[in-house]
Structure formats: C-alpha cells, structure tokens
A and B are shown apart, each in its own frame.
Chain A
C-alpha cells in the first residue's frame, strides 16, 4: 500500500575516508532483485536510523551498480550519525530523484569540471561515467579537465580517485585556499585556475561547490565565452520528499527536486537564487 515514504534497505559495504569531514559510503540494496538504476546528477533520499531523511547526491557512476556511493560531509544531525556507522550497518534509500546531467549532449565535446570541496561528489559520478564510456563508445566525450579547489591540502577529498583520473588522461588541476609546508601546488581560488585555462569552443562546463564559488565561476566562464546552454550546475536545497510534493525546495515556480537539481545557466537566470545573482 504505502510505499511513498518507505525506503528500501541498503547495507554499507565500504566506508572510504575522504578527509576529516567527508566519507564515501558504498551501499548495496539488501534486496538484490529490487530494480534500481540512476543517471549521474540524480540524488537519493537517505534514511539513517532515528535521524530521518536527507537528500544526498550519488557520487558513483551507474556503471558501478549494484554499488551506490554517497559521499557525505559531516554537517548536521543525520550526516554526523552516518559518520558514526560502520561497515555492515544498514541505512534506507528512496529514489533516484531529480533531473540528471544531459550526458547525451556531451558526446564529442570537451568537458570542464569546476568543483569546490564536497561539490566534487555529484560531478564525480559524471566523470566516472564519461571515462567508462570513452573506452566503449565512439561518440564519447573528448577531453576531460577538472579544476578542484579545497580549503587546505588536508581538506582535499577524493585523492585516490583524482590520481586514478590523472592516470586515465584527465587534466586535473588542484588549488588550496591556504597552503601548508608540504604543499607545492596552486594557492588561491578555483576561479584563478580558470584564468590560465583555454576553453575550446565546444566545451561544456559543469560547476558545483559553495554558492559563492558557483556564482564567481559562472561569471568567469561567461567572460571566457561559454554560452548559457553550456554551463551547468547542481543546486542543493533542503528537501523532505524528493518528489515535488512537500514544497520545501520550491523556487520561483520551480521545484529543485523535479525541475533540477541540475540546471543550465539559461534556466538558472530565470530563478532568483544566490548561486546566480542578477
């Protein structure tokens, strides 16, 4: 009867410590016959015992199914609780929800990913998926570049993954706000990395991070000649249902959970959001 707010059981298969704040929880549904598939950019409603639900974007590629990665930063009650859980513990998931990145439109394009902190999580799903496809399909994406900003060298998340990407030919450029004694790389904002980056005219840019970062990166991309249809971001909002009923993510006539969370710049311009201030 009532399936709407009842999650499917999932077990934590592995926990990957990304940095002091972020861990990746690798989940698998306990009922293996339950049909489940998703597209990069979609999110789940995650249930943690006694804590309720939160919207979390999927950070792994659909090619890794039945395993599903959720990369979670410790921020509130629920996220703190899952950080205390161990391998073998169970959580609940509902979904997937939301519009995905238009992967099909990325064929034969150069992709530029610009991320800050935990913002790399939803983009990671796209990068992994594109790399998986590039080995298989003719109209896969051309080149992939990643500009990734972190607060400090110890805050850089997904380090092993980034190394793997580099080995697969992804142009990864990292920067930190504050360096430590061992850091030899870039220091400064991720927007600075964009300054010495040459955009191909067919580049699609995918941006995710704190609102202020998104805003400045988008402005810089526009200056560099990127058109509105080629700039994408994914918005984060408080949500209670994930499927367009509860009203929490309502924004200027749009619902982030149904009409988003992925938006291109021309769609974003119509919304009154702090990620894009007019």
Chain B
C-alpha cells in the first residue's frame, strides 16, 4: 500500500502532539514501572510520565484487545426469567510506540476474530483504536522479525508509523484515522525532504543488518508442508516443557480463550472470557473427564504446528511475528526458535 501522507515530526514536538492526542482519546504507550518493567500503560498525565521507547514492552498489545480476563455479559435469573445484559462499549484509544511485530500480530488477530462472524467485543475495541507504530532501528536480543516478515519497518496496517531519524521522526500515515490525524494536527509537522528519505532508507538497511539471530522461519514452514517432524524432536522438547503456559500468554498471536460463567449471587452472575493455552492439559478435556487428546506430547506439537504449519497453509504466512518474547520467558529453553532449529536441521529422508 502506498502511504497517503508522509511528514516529519521534530522530537521537540512529540510530547505537545501526544498531549493533544491524550485529550481526544485514552493514550496508551510503553512506560517503565517501579519494578523496571516496560509495559503498555494508560497515560493519565503526559507531563508526569516518561514514555520508554528504548526497551521492548514485555507484553504485546494483546491484553488490550483480548484481556487476560474480561466480562462479556452479565446475566440474571429473576422469577424464572434468564436474561443477559450487554457489556460496556469500548472507548477511543490511541496506542503509541507499538513495535512492528505487535501490530502484525494484531492484524493476525483481526483474521482470527472475524471467522466466520466478527467477534463483537474484539471489533468494538479494534474499531475504537488507532495504532501508532515505531519502526525498530535496533533489534532487541531475541528478535527475529525479519525472518517472519513482520519488521523491522512496516508497509501497511498502521494508523501512523514513526521512524526515529535521530532528532526527528519520519511519520507515514496509513488509511483512514492516521491520515485524518496528520491533517488535523498538521502544524506540528513539516514536509519531508530528500535528505529525510535518504536517512530513513539508510537506517532501514542498517536495522536489517543488525539481527543477530538467524531463524529459518519460512524454510521451516515449507519443510513442514512436506515432511513430518521426527518423534525424537517432540520427545526432546516435551521433556523440558513444564506446561506453564508462559509462551502462550506472552505470545501476541496466541488467542485461545475460555468462556465461563461466574455466579455473583444466587440470581445473577457474569460471563467471563479468559486466556487459555493449548499447552495446558485440560484444554481439550470434555465433560465427564474424557480427553480425546491424551498423549502429552500433543500439547507442544499443537502450538508449534498451528503457528508454522496450519496457519502457513491457510494464510500463506506463519503466525509467529518474531517478537522473541517466548524466548525470553521459556525457562526450559524449548521456545519456537529451538523447534525451528531442530526441525530445519532434521535430515530429509
């Protein structure tokens, strides 16, 4: 997609712009908390908050669109009447400082939550959101977005994309809300000059050259279409998987969930949706205890094959965005990159 509009924002103008935006909508950006963790957080007062654009946010945008736990509806049982109430509507939200991998993940979530019918709660939030991304000039230690085609810069999907040129940002607008925003707040920006374009391109090439991890994602995807994974690879991986679900929870594209009703008192309750993970043993257990997926190895297998085989089959692309969070969190060292390494080295029979 061709950008509708490109402009330059001086870094001096960043906070003034964000101050304006935070008056229009809820503003969410990466902030380092007192524990030293950088997380996407709502910003109440921009003048008292320091946005952290140096560290990778430890969680993706997922919790804002699919919260770890959310109320889908309330229900009452009143004189035999069993009725459900609607949840609160979503509020307008602007996300700033989102990395390419996390927006790519959100675009994948759009696919999942629209088949075959649109998930109303998810799309209510999505339609009320504007995403401002920040291209990565320097990949983080475990990143491999270049191998998954989801970074370091993006070509589409964003409201606005910021690229850090040192003392200024190169801002590209996507369709719709992003372009509207540039039009509305035009006086913060200046026109792009040839020198800005050259600098941006130079930084892009430099960023691509800085990946330290060489993960053969597309090779693994293609190989999975033709070959089965040797049992000893599953064996090796499952031996060090402790079923903690950490990988699924930090993964920006792991969207499996559970829906349960929680009684509040004898005549009312709430219907809640919460994260679930295909790696946990109760995931497929049915009423009465029967579990059609009994082999323990299946859990890990299901997660990796879903991302690299089945999603590649159905969308032409793996649903791994190379954010590296599972690499950070897995204490058994059996994250998706380990699997890809083992499998791509497996000898073709």
Tell me if B345 is interfacial: C-beta within 8 Å of chain A: no
- Quick check: A2 and B287 within 8 Å, CB to CB? no
Tell me if A136 is interfacial: C-beta within 8 Å of chain B: no
- Quick check: B258 and A246 within 8 Å, CB to CB? yes
Tell me if B34 is interfacial: C-beta within 8 Å of chain A: no
- In the assembled complex, the CB of A95 is this many whole angstroms from the nearest CB of chain B, namely 12
- Quick check: B257 and A2 within 8 Å, CB to CB? no
- Quick check: B259 and A92 within 8 Å, CB to CB? no
Tell me if A220 is interfacial: C-beta within 8 Å of chain B: no
Classify the secondary structure of A's interface with B. Answer: loop
- Quick check: B284 and A258 within 8 Å, CB to CB? no
- Quick check: A52 and B271 within 8 Å, CB to CB? yes
Closest to B259 in A: A240
- Hey, which chain B residues are within 8 Å of A91, CB to CB? 82
Tell me if B121 is interfacial: C-beta within 8 Å of chain A: yes
- Quick check: B271 and A4 within 8 Å, CB to CB? no
Q: Which residues of chain B in 120-136 are interfacial with respect to chain A, using CB atoms and an 8 Å cutoff?
A: 120-121, 124
Tell me if B230 is interfacial: C-beta within 8 Å of chain A: no
- Quick check: A245 and B310 within 8 Å, CB to CB? no
User: CB within 8 A of A77: which of B255, B286, B287, B292?
Assistant: B287
Residues 211-233 of chain A, each 1 if its beta carbon lies under 8 Å from chain B, else 0: 10000000000000000000000
Tell me if B166 is interfacial: C-beta within 8 Å of chain A: no
Interface segment, one of B47-55, B72-80, B193-201: B72-80
CA A1 – CA B89 in complex, angstroms? 8
Q: Tell me the B residues contacting A by CB distance below 8 Å.
A: 72-73, 75, 77, 80-84, 86-87, 89, 112-113, 115-121, 124, 255-261, 263, 269, 271, 273, 276, 278, 283-288, 292, 294, 302, 305-306, 309-310, 313-314
- Quick check: B278 and A250 within 8 Å, CB to CB? yes
- Quick check: B260 and A238 within 8 Å, CB to CB? no
- Quick check: A248 and B113 within 8 Å, CB to CB? no
Closest to A2 in B: B120
- Hey, which chain B residues are within 8 Å of A47, CB to CB? 75, 82, 261
Residues 84-107 of chain A, each 1 if its beta carbon lies under 8 Å from chain B, else 0: 000011111000000000000000
- Quick check: B286 and A237 within 8 Å, CB to CB? yes
Residues 162-190 of chain A, each 1 if its beta carbon lies under 8 Å from chain B, else 0: 00000000000000000000000000000
How many residues does chain A have at the interface if contact means C-beta atoms less than 8 Å apart? Answer: 44
- Quick check: B84 and A52 within 8 Å, CB to CB? no
10 contacts between A and B (CB under 8 A): A5-B73, A47-B82, A49-B269, A50-B77, A50-B263, A89-B80, A90-B77, A238-B286, A247-B278, A253-B305
- Quick check: A274 and B259 within 8 Å, CB to CB? no
Contacts A7-B84, A50-B269 given: A247-B124 contact, CB under 8 Å?
no
- Quick check: B82 and A2 within 8 Å, CB to CB? no
- Quick check: A76 and B261 within 8 Å, CB to CB? no
Classify the secondary structure of B's interface with A. Answer: mixed
CA A1 – CA B87 in complex, angstroms? 9
- Hey, which chain B residues are within 8 Å of A245, CB to CB? 112-113, 115, 119, 255, 257
- Hey, which chain B residues are within 8 Å of A77, CB to CB? 287
CA A92 – CA B271 in complex, angstroms? 13
Q: Tell me the A residues contacting B by CB distance below 8 Å.
A: 1-7, 9, 47, 49-54, 75-79, 88-92, 211, 236-238, 240-241, 243-250, 252-253, 258, 273-274
- Hey, which chain B residues are within 8 Å of A88, CB to CB? 80
CA A273 – CA B293 in complex, angstroms? 8
- Quick check: A6 and B260 within 8 Å, CB to CB? no
Contacts A77-B287, A79-B287 given: A2-B75 contact, CB under 8 Å?
no
- Quick check: A90 and B81 within 8 Å, CB to CB? yes
Contacts A4-B117, A240-B259, A258-B115 given: A75-B288 contact, CB under 8 Å?
yes
- Hey, which chain B residues are within 8 Å of A241, CB to CB? 257, 259
- In the assembled complex, the CB of A102 is this many whole angstroms from the nearest CB of chain B, namely 19
Given contact pairs A89-B80, A253-B309, enumerate 19 new A-B contacts (beta carbons under 8 Å).
A1-B86, A1-B87, A2-B72, A6-B73, A47-B75, A49-B261, A52-B260, A53-B259, A77-B287, A90-B81, A237-B284, A238-B285, A243-B116, A243-B117, A245-B255, A248-B276, A253-B306, A258-B116, A274-B292
7 pairs of A and B residues whose beta carbons are closest in the complex: A76-B287, A247-B256, A253-B310, A75-B288, A90-B82, A52-B261, A75-B287
- In the assembled complex, the CB of A89 is this many whole angstroms from the nearest CB of chain B, namely 7
User: CB within 8 A of B306: which of A2, A54, A250?
Assistant: A250
- In the assembled complex, the CB of A144 is this many whole angstroms from the nearest CB of chain B, namely 29
Contacts A75-B288, A246-B257, A247-B255 given: A5-B75 contact, CB under 8 Å?
no
- Quick check: A4 and B115 within 8 Å, CB to CB? no
- Hey, which chain B residues are within 8 Å of A1, CB to CB? 86-87, 89, 120, 124
- Quick check: A3 and B115 within 8 Å, CB to CB? no
CA A247 – CA B64 in complex, angstroms? 19
- Quick check: A4 and B120 within 8 Å, CB to CB? yes
Contacts A2-B87, A6-B86, A253-B310 given: A247-B257 contact, CB under 8 Å?
yes
Closest to A88 in B: B80
CA A244 – CA B338 in complex, angstroms? 29
CA A230 – CA B136 in complex, angstroms? 55
- Hey, which chain A residues are within 8 Å of B86, CB to CB? 1-2, 6
Closest to A250 in B: B306
